[in-house]
Structure 1
Amino acid sequence: MEILIINGPNLNLLGTREPEIYGATTLDQIISLTESEFKGQDISLNWFQSNIEGEIVNKIQEATGQKTDAIVINPAAYSHTSVAILDALKMFSGIKIEVHLSNTNLREEFRKIKITAQGSDAVLEGLGKFAYIMGVRAAIARKEL
């Protein structure tokens, strides 16, 4: 199974940016943790991070024309604002799982609106560094439905 994992703006600063909200684990550590969880399984995890909305849209469009089975996406702040990412997700015919490290429903009012979630099959949040593992598991489960 081919899974593209997309990380949005400021996630490259995990571990130092607001650790009381996002935890002290870096993105590289999350990648290692997630990769080790699925090591030896017939699962390919392809990681991508960008602070630029258009690059994220381009990556989703590229996945549409490839053999990507699923996208696990943490659009970060773009989840509340990006119709462009929503539209790209809607064009992708594979499985789409949105993840968030924090529980956005317990934060500021504007974070409770998740535009991109409308293009996802499921949304997982509040699981911290384990959000990606659970997102990949959710994608695998959706494929087996």
Structure 2
Amino acid sequence: MKQFLMLHGINHNMFGKRDPAQYGTATLDDIDAQLHALAQELGVAVQSYQTNSEADMCLRIHQGFIDQVDGVLINAGAWTHYSYGIRDALAILTVPVVEIHMSNIHAREEFRHKSVFAEIVKGQICGFGVDSYLLGLRAAVRAAA
């Protein structure tokens, strides 16, 4: 069974409480439950991980490389716009990486328009709320086929 890693970044433990106008009312547990249900439907497995530590995120990406996961989905939150450390960790991977955002980062503040990951990921899905995650998993599964 193909294995996928879902990486949730900084402040995502606050989904459902934080800025519902941008992020809706779904909690991180709600998002993960929907991802796992879709994974079962697609015949794959998803392991979810959330951290507010940039170093821990890099270590989890390294572990994904060691574990030879088949694909990675990442919503790094604000790290997307400045974390070259996470970018370099993602660049180690040899599997499809799909960048996900619940909000449309291109329609928000100017600093959110640039992703330092854009040049190394397979693609980016943003602006569809929780559906961004589900679309991202479908894209990753297809890219890993």
Answer yes or no: same fold by TM over 0.5: yes
Aligned counterparts, 1:1-145, within 5 A: 1-144=2-145
| Kept after mapping to 2: 8 A contact 1:71/1:95 | yes
Q: RMSD between aligned alpha carbons? A: 1.0
Deviation at 1:42, TM superposition (A): 2.6
**What letter is aligned with 2:13?**
N
Could you tell me whether the CA contact under 8 Å between 1:13 and 1:26 is conserved in 2?
yes
AA of the residue aligned to 1:120: V
Matched to 2:128, the amino acid is: L
TM-score (norm 1): 0.95
- Counterpart amino acid of residue 123 in structure 1: Q
Q: For residues 70 and 118 of structure 1, what CA distance do their matches in structure 2 show?
A: 17
TM-score normalized by structure 2? 0.95
The CA distance in 2 between the partners of 1:67 and 1:81, in whole Å, is: 26
| Unpaired stretches in structure 2, ≥5 consecutive residues | none
Identity rate of aligned residues, in percent?
31
Aligned residue pairs total: 144
| Runs of at least 5 residues in structure 1 that lack an aligned partner in the other structure | none
Structure 2 CA distance, aligned partners of 1:99 and 1:40?
A: 20
